[in-house]
Amino acid sequence: MNITPLELAAVRTLPELLDFRVAHSPQGEAYREFDAASGRWLSTSWAEAGTRIARWGRALAAMQLPAHASVAILLPNGLNAVSIDQAALSLGMVPVPLHAIDNAGSIAYILSDCEACLLVVSSLSQWRAIEAVGTPLPALRCVVVIEPEAILDAAGGSPRLVSLAGWLAGGDAYTGGLTAPAEDDLAALVYTSGTTGKPKGVMLTHRNVMSNVRSIVSLVAPLPEDVFLSFLPLSHTFERTAGYYLPIAAGSCVAYARSVALLAEDLKTVRPTMLISVPRIYERVFAKLQETLAPSPFKTRLFLAAQAVGWRQFCRAQGLPLAEAEKSPWAWLDPVLQPVLQRLVGRTLLAQFGGRVRVAVSGGAPLSHAVARCFLGLGLPLLQGYGMTETSPVVASNSPDDNDPATVGRALADVEVRISENQELQVRGPLVMKGYWKRPEDTARVLLADGWLCTGDQAVIEAGRIRIMGRLKEIIVTSTGEKVPPGDLEVAIGADPLFDQVLVVGENRPFIACVVVVNAAEWRRVAQSLGLNPDDPASLQQPAAHKLALERIAAQTKDFARYAMPRAVYLTREAWTIENALMTPTLKLKRNNLMARYAGEIESLYQSGARR
């Protein structure tokens, strides 16, 4: 049964939302997980999920934790993460989702800052790594370890270590009452990624999250028969709201991907109809497609023709103007050619996503126009949106029948937006956070007295659609006074399959430069064409390699002002990851860390430039 707008309006808290779903769709498929022991995907119904969550709730209640206690969750996406999250919510406690592969120092900081009373971890080794950091955690009473084979302390110690089985058994006889949350109680403390410093705990209430769920239901209309594939971390508010709570509202099934490494295989096995992702995933598919096409000029021409025809048809359907370069004297044949080219080319691309996606959403960072044009032209119904942790998170989005990929769409129904004097986008509505945990000064800097939230993003609003121009604090000001938004450049350059990751630099420098991580397969092909040894790290610094890289960068940035086009580049094969602290858990660049890591290389780029 699908929830009606009237019924959803009456749901005030997340536990009420789950209770509604369990009561109205008890036998519907709620969750699907891969069981490594049997080698099969196993399903859980809403009724089974409800029973499971109730048992976790009794175990948590039996601990007699303080009211509104913080419950930290360090687990991969799956039923265990859902169970402890829902158990905490049902008792008016505050879930604190942690990224499962974040570094131990960052996790220890968050546990201390949120005053976590309970921590649930996958393995004992995770806890030992956190413990080794040495951060005092006086509020932490207990650590529940999921792995069954863990050898735990028999008794004593602080915090107490207990197996999941032992913890659950401790609540089986509990008969005490449960305290349900109110609308304005916290539904989560979600820590921001911390691209330039210590992460801040964003206080999101049940009212915040439920208002966002209602708006998204109206926008994309998920159905009980829909299947979501969940792979973004549940520590990411985008995934929590759109990939976790939204399916509860709709009664849809959530299948949990085994890992990002196996995502391509899981897409084809699960065959999702709803896809919630960040641009990086679409960019990887796009780069792989470019790599596959490169050896065959005929396939490349066919692909470009299919994309061009499909894009023109998409623009006609959406009422969007075409650039001069996209027009064709043969465009009158598009309605005839598109079905043929779709069968020859588009169907192959759509098969990479399972072949039946009816809504694909991209959020969390800007999406390259080249990627959007490719996928929309070849039939993937891709919607770009905008949001931030502080807004629960979705502020605006395109919709299937109102889709301009050059923008992030229109503000949601109950959201007000405006542009300040310095072109900053400001937001007001029930989705805006309560504030930052224990940081009143930081809260006051972004949350104005009349309820407007300062997003830190520059934007314009054109005919009701929002176009994001860049981050206020990330705008590079060169020594010649030119202002350059690095994010836009990085997205454009990253559309080339040679470049996996891009960092644009130039603050108080005479020109723009960049550091790029090359794609291993594409670099091998390029290096061989230049007569270089692709396995020799020194080959990346050869003049021929730099010349070709700058030519390709120039091609990707030809629509930017001349002063914004990078004039120097440093090439590396070292991937930037969460583990080496060069990326945030939401796959954004940690700019300060990258600038420190490549300080010498960046300096040499400008010294070489000065000598030219």
Give the CATH number, domain containing residue 88.
3.40.50.980
**Cα distance between residue 537 and residue 545, in whole Å:** 12
Give the 3-state secondary structure of residue 127: helix
| Mean pLDDT, residues 246-253 taken together | 98
User: What tokens does 312 get?
Assistant: 């023109």
Q: Where are the beta strands (DSSP E) in 56-200?
A: 70-74, 94-97, 116-121, 142-145, 160-163, 186-191
Residue 116 banded pLDDT, cuts 50, 70, 90: very high
User: pLDDT tens digits, residue range 371-430?
Assistant: 999 999 999 999 999 999 999 999 999 999 999 999 999 999 999 999 999 899 999 999
Least confident of 104-108, 115-119, 225-229: 104-108
> Are 150 and 125 spatial neighbours (Cβ–Cβ below 8 Å)?
no
CA–chain centroid gap for 360, Å, is 13
Backbone torsion region of residue 296, taken as left when φ is above 0, otherwise alpha when ψ lies between -120 and 50, otherwise beta? beta
Here the tokens at position 139 are: 């509020």
Whether residues 294 and 169 share a domain: the answer is no
Which tokens sit at 275? Answer: 């896809």
Q: CA 23, 24, 28, 34 torsion: positive or negative?
A: negative
pLDDT of residue 579: 84
pLDDT surpassing 90 at residue 480? no
Average pLDDT, the chain: 92
131 in any annotated domain? yes
With residue 220 as reference, give the H or E element that holds it. helix 206-220
**Residues 467 and 494 grouped into a single domain:** no
Same domain, yes or no, for 444 and 508? no
Does residue 266 lie in a domain region?
no
Domain span holding position 34: 5-260
Whether 407 contacts 462, CB under 8 Å? yes
The residue to which tokens 């040495």 are assigned = 134
Q: 551: how many CB neighbours lie within 10 A of its CB? A: 9
Query: Would 269 be classed as within a structural domain?
Result: no
Quote the strand ranges of 89-130, DSSP E.
94-97, 116-121
Q: Are residues 93 and 48 in the same domain?
A: yes
pLDDT band at 196 (very low <50, low <70, confident <90, very high): very low
Percentage helix, strand, coil for the chain under 3-state DSSP, each rounded to 5? 40, 20, 40
Residue 400's pLDDT is 94
Specify the pLDDT at position 372: 94
Judge contact between 366 and 488, C-beta under 8 A: yes
User: Which residue type does 529 have?
Assistant: S
> Looking at the structure, do residues 159 and 102 belong to the same domain, yes or no?
yes
Supply the pLDDT for residue 156: 61
Which whole-number Å values give the CA distances from 319 to 232, 298, 384, 407, in the listed order?
33, 31, 17, 14
User: Same domain for 281 and 209?
Assistant: no
Q: Please tell me the predicted confidence (pLDDT) of residue 482.
A: 77
H/E run at residue 18: helix 14-24
Average pLDDT over residues 279-297: 85
pLDDT value of position 611: 43
pLDDT score for 157: 73
- Model confidence, pTM: 0.85
Is residue 194 within 8 Å of 226, Cβ to Cβ? no
Residues 326-381 pLDDT 10s? 999 999 999 999 999 999 999 988 999 999 999 999 988 788 888 999 999 999 99
Same domain, residue pair 247 and 384: no
**Beta-ladder partners of 454:** 426
Q: What is the pLDDT of residue 189?
A: 98
Q: Name the band, by pLDDT with cuts 50, 70 and 90, for residue 597.
A: very high
Q: Is residue 602 part of a domain?
A: yes
- The verdict on 252 and 284 lying in the same domain is no
514-536 confidence digits (pLDDT tens): 999 999 999 999 999 999 999 99
Cα atoms in the Cβ-side hemisphere of radius 13 Å centred on 80? 19
Domain boundary among 225, 260, 295: 260
In degrees and rounded to multiples of 5, residue 329 shows phi and psi of: -65, -15
CB distance 70 to 82 below 8 Å? no
Q: Are residues 297 and 227 in the same domain?
A: no
Q: Are residues 464 and 485 in the same domain?
A: no
Looking at the domain assignment, is residue 365 inside a domain? Answer: yes
pLDDT band at 155; cut points 50, 70, 90? low
Domain end among 207, 234, 260: 260
Asked if residue 265 belongs to a domain, the reply is: no
Residue 267 lies in a domain: no
Between 436 and 583, whose confidence is greater? 436
Total domains, the chain = 3
Do 42 and 112 fall within a single domain?
yes
DSSP 399: B
pLDDT for 197 equals 57
The pLDDT of residue 609 is 59
Strand partners for 418: 426
Tell me what the mean pLDDT of segment 68-78 comes to: 97
Residue 57 forms part of a structural domain: yes
pLDDT (0 to 100) of residue 481:
73
| Vertex 305: Cα angle to 303 and 549 (nearest 5) | 60
Q: Is the pLDDT of residue 473 over 90?
A: no
pLDDT value of position 337:
95
Compute the average pLDDT of residues 438-462: 95
Residues 534 and 447 in one domain: no
Average pLDDT over residues 224-241: 95
pLDDT for residue 194 is more than 70: no
Question: Angle 568-570-574 (CA atoms, 0-180°, nearest 5)?
Answer: 160
